[in-house]
């Protein structure tokens, strides 16, 4: 690819150059490199004062180059609907001058995804407060203001914030593409090796590097739709409206996790109304964490009863999963 591009370059009478990969930026743009040589000699065996040449001077042009990469590593899980979920990107100025870049996002970059994420009200943030991850508000990261300037080898962490439409099925993927482009006039999209006269730092020429003045990276969201539904019902008697005091009621709490993802620290609490009294040691739990009967104390089994509240501590639960908690109470 590069070889082919070089072919074009050569015929345009540009000096041969290979971009230095060890130190991305190379010698800073505008650096003056003088070469002076000294000659000593003698005439008839008598040393004459040495001569120094006028300097042959080369000034380092600015190479405009950049890399942009999506940093999350895997699609970012979102719900449907959802809002302000960040995708994280890193922009690196791999050129040798201070360069200003503009950023833009495309919410519909590919046809391989299932939905188009929506730009949040503040669609782009720059990491600025030194705390990893996106923080918004006072003391948080900075909403992107239209351009950013990076020194040679300088980098920026960029967050794209998206909202997720409602009603999307689990497993739907939505892609967003970020484009970072050099703000130097004529650089973005120009051919490799294009010389922009006087557009570099301090008035040196700017030369378009391998990125061709702009870079794209695409990140993805995945509707994981982890939902935890809790439903409580009376199993018996069948006609609870006709209960008399002292009647035994069987309650059922049904917990269902659907979609994809993992619920952390899942705890089901059921504070009982004052009209009923829990029948000690009546709880049973079926499903992934079963106990029958369950004890009412806080111990190895997940169920505990105290302060008139029945709790089931389920911990980390991956979807899909379901639990059924049954217990008895008497009507006061």
Partner 1 sequence: MTTQKTLITVCTLALLAFIHPVAHAANAVELKSVAEVEVEVVNSKGKKELKRQPVEKAVPGTEVIYTTTFKNLIAKPVGNIAITNPVPNNTTYKAGSATGANTDITFSIDGGKAFAAPDKLKLKDKDGKERSALPAEYTHIRWTYKGELPAGKSGEVSFRTVIK
**Choice from 2, 33, 230, 267 touching partner 1 (CB under 8 A):** 33
Shortest spacing between CB 61 and partner 1, in angstroms: 5
190 binds partner 1 (CB under 8 A): no
**Choice from 1, 3, 4, 16 touching partner 1 (CB under 8 A):** 16
Q: Which is nearer to partner 1, 17 or 292 (CB)?
A: 17
201 binds partner 1 (CB under 8 A): no
Q: Which is nearer to partner 1, 183 or 195 (CB)?
A: 195
Alpha-carbon span 219 to 221, nearest angstrom:
7
Total residues at interface with partner 1 (CB under 8 A)? 51
Q: Which is nearer to partner 1, 28 or 119 (CB)?
A: 28
59 binds partner 1 (CB under 8 A): yes
Q: Which is nearer to partner 1, 195 or 249 (CB)?
A: 195
Site for partner 1 in 82-101 (CB under 8 A): 96
Cα 286 to its chain centre, rounded Å, is: 38
23 binds partner 1 (CB under 8 A): yes
- Tally of CA atoms within 13 A in the half-sphere of 22 that contains its CB: 1
Helix (H) or strand (E) holding 3: helix 2-11
Alpha-carbon span 174 to 224, nearest angstrom:
12
Structure tokens at 226: 């982890």
51 binds partner 1 (CB under 8 A): yes
Whether omega before 293 lies within 30 degrees of 0, making that bond cis, reads: yes
Q: Which of 308, 215, 318, 301 is nearest to 263 (CA)?
A: 318
Size of the chain, expressed as the number of residues it contains: 332
Alpha-carbon span 99 to 66, nearest angstrom:
9
The single-letter DSSP state of residue 176 is E
34 binds partner 1 (CB under 8 A): yes
**Choice from 5, 57, 108, 332 touching partner 1 (CB under 8 A):** 57
Q: Which is nearer to partner 1, 13 or 138 (CB)?
A: 13
- Tally of CA atoms within 13 A in the half-sphere of 194 that contains its CB: 18
* Site residues (vs partner 1, CB under 8 A): 10-20, 23, 25-27, 31, 33-45, 47-48, 51-63, 96, 194-195, 197, 204-205, 207
């Amino acid at each position: 690819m590069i070889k082919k591009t070089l072919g074009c370059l050569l015929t345009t009478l540009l000096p041969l150059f290979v971009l230095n990969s060890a130190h991305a930026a190379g010698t800073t743009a505008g650096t003056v490199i003088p070469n002076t040589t000294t000659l000593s000699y003698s005439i008839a065996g008598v040393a004459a004062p040495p001569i120094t040449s006028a300097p042959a001077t080369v000034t380092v042009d600015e190479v405009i180059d950049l890399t942009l990469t999506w940093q999350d590593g895997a699609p970012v899980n979102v719900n449907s609907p959802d809002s302000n979920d960040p995708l994280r990107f890193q922009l690196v100025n791999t050129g040798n001058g201070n360069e200003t870049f503009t950023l833009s996002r495309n919410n519909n970059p590919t046809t391989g995804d299932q939905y188009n994420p929506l730009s949040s009200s503040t669609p782009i943030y720059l990491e600025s407060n030194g705390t990893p991850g996106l923080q918004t508000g006072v003391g948080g990261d900075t909403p992107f203001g239209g351009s950013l300037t990076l020194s040679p080898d300088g980098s920026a962490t960029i967050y794209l914030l998206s909202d997720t439409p409602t009603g999307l099925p689990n497993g739907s993927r939505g892609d967003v593409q970020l484009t970072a482009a050099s703000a130097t006039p004529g650089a973005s999209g120009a051919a490799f090796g294009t010389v922009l006269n006087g557009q570099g730092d301090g008035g040196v020429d700017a030369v378009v590097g391998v990125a061709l003045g702009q870079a794209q990276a695409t990140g993805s969201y995945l509707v994981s739709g982890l939902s935890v539904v809790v439903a409580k019902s009376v199993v018996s008697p069948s006609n609870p409206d006709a209960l008399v005091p002292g009647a035994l009621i069987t309650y059922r709490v049904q917990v269902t996790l659907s979609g994809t993802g993992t619920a952390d620290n899942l705890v089901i609490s059921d504070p009982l109304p004052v009209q009923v009294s829990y029948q000690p040691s009546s709880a049973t739990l079926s499903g992934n964490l079963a106990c029958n009967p369950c004890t009412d104390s806080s111990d190895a089994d997940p169920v505990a009863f105290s302060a008139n509240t029945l709790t089931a501590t389920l911990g980390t639960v991956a979807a899909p999963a379901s639990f059924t908690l049954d217990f008895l109470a008497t009507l006061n």
